[in-house]
Amino acid sequence: MRARVVTTLLSSRWTFFYKFVLPLLVLGGLGFGAWRAFKHPDEVHMPPAMTPDYGWVLIIVIALFAGGIIWWTVASLCRIEIDDDDLLISHYRTEMRVPLASVESISGPSASNPKRYTLTFEEPTEFGRRVTLLPPMAWTLMPLGEPEAVRELRNAWETARRAATRRQ
């Protein structure tokens, strides 16, 4: 039986917040605003060309746009840990184990804030061909530098790829 190696968490502790709580707060707030504008159109301050009676429609359009941006940026966020030569990837409902050597590339950072990194696999996994990592955020004097968690991931990935190449 293989000895259990301590896992190293690569994801930020804020991953759950960004993936689940923030969308609920934003969309819930916009939904409440749309309901309020529908029930009390006289309280809505609209641009001169628009009537207050349809302020709720404008808020729903904004909510759909915000929902699309939120879906695009945080839907693929995963909790990722390194366990020996494997990655433990979790969507908080399901967890899977993927060999670190099966990662094809690590790209990022994204243009969004907070910065996200994408792991692309050689073959599709249970979560698709790509998963997104939100590394721990830290105050630094080098804001353009790569986070420690991503450097650790890249080092482990390169080591696993070299070991897999030697085995072949």
Domain definitions of the chain by residue range: 15-74, 77-167
Mean of the pLDDT values across residues 106-132? 88
Tens digits of per-residue pLDDT, 37-87?
888 888 877 777 777 777 888 889 989 999 898 888 888 899 999 988 889
pLDDT over 70 (residue 142): no
Q: Which residues pair with 9 in a beta bridge?
A: 81
CATH class, 77-167 region: mainly beta
Q: How many CB atoms are closer than 10 A to CB 111?
A: 7
What is the reported pLDDT for 143? Answer: 63
What is the reported pLDDT for 1? Answer: 47
